[in-house]
Structure 1
């Protein structure tokens, strides 16, 4: 008997060990998967879970308070990666299960724009095996809803073989996990791309589309393309920073929290709710907070944890009624009597004022906080990580009232002034205005 085994045997042994760990980790009551399927109906398509129609009221979730999603009426989350640490991954699924929330897990599939070569069969095979290991780890958890095979793999892609790899993974999943459907997400709508995916990845059960300001046009795009298949909208929400007007120095102009809430409402009513037999699920972005150009652009929560008006709107769409405590809103915000689109130039160290008009549907007493940050210089895209930006200290002489007084920074450059409005009951509103400091 030899004590040496080849590489393939090692990989097989690792996979067998991981599968055994999963079985040992889960109590018997949690080891039974729940069947999820997409079925054809006379009207179009239907998502079934445990044989019953399942309407996804979902949100993109990375970290934060999952229980708040259940509190506001949500029933599903999607991730952007699969946790390689089994204990952490199971903890997420167990928490979701306890809250009555399902999970669409996104497999860690590499993007061409990050240097992955889909012409290299060895690295493609290695990725396939890693995906298989991940599926083996989590496929039997009852909270699992679907498998997302990669996030926005089309972003800056050139090689269509990426979708051959996606199809191979989908076939593998169908073989070892017949209980859960498969999908892949695309950034935006591209009729040619949808055709490529349909040809190269026919094993997918549905398509997942991610759109922001352009989402309002999705019904028109689908009609023009004569696309008849089922789909999810796996990211939608605020108008993207690449879709808005910019200042003369290139700073994107961010909407107020109230303007964003109105966009969430319009997107849900006119797009998502209007196609119930084709748009089988959706995940609003983002149930949490992140830095992407600003700390407030995409998160439905503030960094300090307060909810915003966008959550009110989504909760009403899910439940048919407003939350018990409504978030405050923004009527207007001005810096030196001008608005964000007015290309505001300030002089170094000179005194200025900014003013916000806010309201609260519940007539709560409002408090205010102002801050100034340097403008983000990030050129990252596709949701890649951005480092947070610290507030500048010592500029304000009054910063806790609707009207703030401050001195402009002394250093030439681009900045942004932020205002936060709190209702004292865990909800808030926000707005910001970009400005540029230069000597006259």
Structure 2
């Protein structure tokens, strides 16, 4: 999975990059050396010669100030530059907040049509990536280099990892201060063996798992896997891993269920293995549309923090925040929950309700929305368009109990509810339904 804005933003003109590098060459390197020491399943990440415990999240457009205030100390990206901010601006901002960055070097995935048998294209990509490395290698906020994101997702040509290895070898030559990795969609002994064979220059492996994360310790024991690793994406149970309605709509956990899953995942999979799992980046410190606008983001589309932020605050600080997010206990439509395969008659009225409890006794306000079910078939986190809001269907949409008028047009929809505490926090849930 990944977030991405413009695939070619990191491809700047060679002239401009070389000019920037020449200017930077006149400056003394401010890099802080990062290294992995140890062997045979017992490792330690050092930064500036001292042990460094990564308290991380995946961030592309999320607020770094809020991240730092909640106890985070490192974040990963999916590009070096975006439409919103350049890599240097991002690193500078991180450094001011005493944060480090695992910077993703954008490498084309085969599933986007890139041919790793085309030597000219592979060479051009190598040169582009090299210029990015030269541009940012001396920044003190840099922690590690991520060489491509989930390149194994739907891949067929193993030469992709020859290209990764060539980039890793190049980085070792020009930047001895920062370890290299590449991220994997899922875990399998076959892909681990391929990486060890084709890309031995990598310093560690990065694994990205969602619902299947709970099985990672078992996989590692089974395969006698002893390399150091990061978990560079983890969080909500994936939309491909959950139950579905009879018409195929994936059933999303509510915000409180997700928070409980985050805490369970950390306690059972990440915390017990500090000598091998050297860092983790929870997904996603921000908001994105992926099947729904609430599935993976730890914030709402209007910026409120969800209960998963409370959990990460607790994990990073060993104490809960002073003001807690509302807990969502139950949501129903027509007397059924999200697993009820709810089918409604067009233009008819149906009751819906939500039960929310605020730990601090804050007053709760509500917002209900109806959207058509997403028809997106995008994979791997590629950009999706959010389905439009449908208006005029909800009576008294600011209360805990409402009346929904089913849309006139037959098809699949979702009813969303948000519960706000007025303190910058929100709970949320949704129920898929079908209009006959």
1:187-206 → structure 2 map (5 Å cutoff):
187-206=185-204
Aligned CA distance change for structure 1 residues 248 and 135 (closer, same or farther; 3 Å): same
Alpha-carbon distance in structure 2 between the residues aligned to 1:149 and 1:115: 18
Asked whether 1:184 is paired with 2:182, we answer yes
Counterpart pick for 1:144 among 142, 145, 149: 142
Asked whether 1:119 is paired with 2:121, we answer no
Which residue of structure 2 aligns with residue 337 of structure 1? Answer: 335
Alpha-carbon distance in structure 1 between the residues aligned to 2:318 and 2:388: 39
Alpha-carbon distance in structure 2 between the residues aligned to 1:85 and 1:362: 39
1:380-399 → structure 2 map (5 Å cutoff):
380-399=378-397
Asked whether 1:231 is paired with 2:233, we answer no
Deviation of residue 402 (structure 1)?
A: 0.8
Contact 1:151 1:186 in 2 (8 A): yes
Which residue of structure 2 aligns with residue 251 of structure 1? Answer: 249
Which residue of structure 1 aligns with residue 206 of structure 2? Answer: 208
Alpha-carbon distance in structure 2 between the residues aligned to 1:249 and 1:100: 48
Q: Map Cα deviations across residues 50-72 of structure 1 (whole Å, 9 max, x no partner).
A: 00000000000010211000010
Counterpart pick for 2:34 among 30, 33, 36: 36
Q: Map Cα deviations across residues 329-376 of structure 1 (whole Å, 9 max, x no partner).
A: 111110000011111000111011111111111111111111100000
Alpha-carbon distance in structure 2 between the residues aligned to 1:279 and 1:198: 18
Contact 1:84 1:134 in 2 (8 A): no
Counterpart pick for 1:295 among 288, 293, 311: 293
Deviation of residue 425 (structure 1)?
A: 0.3
Q: Map Cα deviations across residues 234-288 of structure 1 (whole Å, 9 max, x no partner).
A: 0000000000000111100000000000110010000000100000000000000
Q: RMSD value over aligned CA atoms?
A: 1.6
Counterpart pick for 1:20 among 7, 19, 22: 22
Deviation of residue 87 (structure 1)?
A: 7.3
Alpha-carbon distance in structure 1 between the residues aligned to 2:14 and 2:241: 47
Deviation of residue 108 (structure 1)?
A: 0.8
Aligned CA distance change for structure 1 residues 211 and 87 (closer, same or farther; 3 Å): closer
1:300-339 → structure 2 map (5 Å cutoff):
300-339=298-337
Alpha-carbon distance in structure 1 between the residues aligned to 2:271 and 2:407: 47
Which residue of structure 1 aligns with residue 376 of structure 2? Answer: 378
Please give the secondary structure, in 1, of the residue aligned with 2:309. Answer: helix
Alpha-carbon distance in structure 1 between the residues aligned to 2:246 and 2:18: 59
Counterpart pick for 2:87 among 79, 84, 89: 89
**Higher relative contact order, structure no. (Cα contacts within 8 Å, ≥ 6 residues apart):** 2
After TM superposition, where is structure 1 displaced by more than 6 Å over at least 4 residues in a row?
Answer: 11-14, 84-87
Please give the secondary structure, in 1, of the residue aligned with 2:152. Answer: coil
Q: Map Cα deviations across residues 362-396 of structure 1 (whole Å, 9 max, x no partner).
A: 11111111110000000001000001222101111
Which residue of structure 2 aligns with residue 411 of structure 1? Answer: 409
Name the TM-score, length of structure 1 as normaliser: 0.94
* Higher CA-based Rg: 1
Alpha-carbon distance in structure 2 between the residues aligned to 1:14 and 1:335: 57
Please give the secondary structure, in 1, of the residue aligned with 2:218. Answer: helix
Deviation of residue 15 (structure 1)?
A: 5.6
Counterpart pick for 2:261 among 263, 266, 273: 263
Gaps of 5+ in 2: 1-12
Contact 2:41 2:228 in 1 (8 A): no
Contact 1:46 1:53 in 2 (8 A): yes
Which residue of structure 1 aligns with residue 348 of structure 2? Answer: 350
Deviation of residue 88 (structure 1)?
A: 2.0
Contact 1:366 1:421 in 2 (8 A): yes
Gaps of 5+ in 1: 1-10
Deviation of residue 83 (structure 1)?
A: 1.1
Counterpart pick for 1:132 among 130, 133, 149: 130
Deviation of residue 86 (structure 1)?
A: 12
Contact 1:155 1:382 in 2 (8 A): yes
Which residue of structure 1 aligns with residue 9 of structure 2? Answer: none
Deviation of residue 85 (structure 1)?
A: 8.3
Which residue of structure 1 aligns with residue 271 of structure 2? Answer: 273
Aligned CA distance change for structure 1 residues 84 and 172 (closer, same or farther; 3 Å): farther
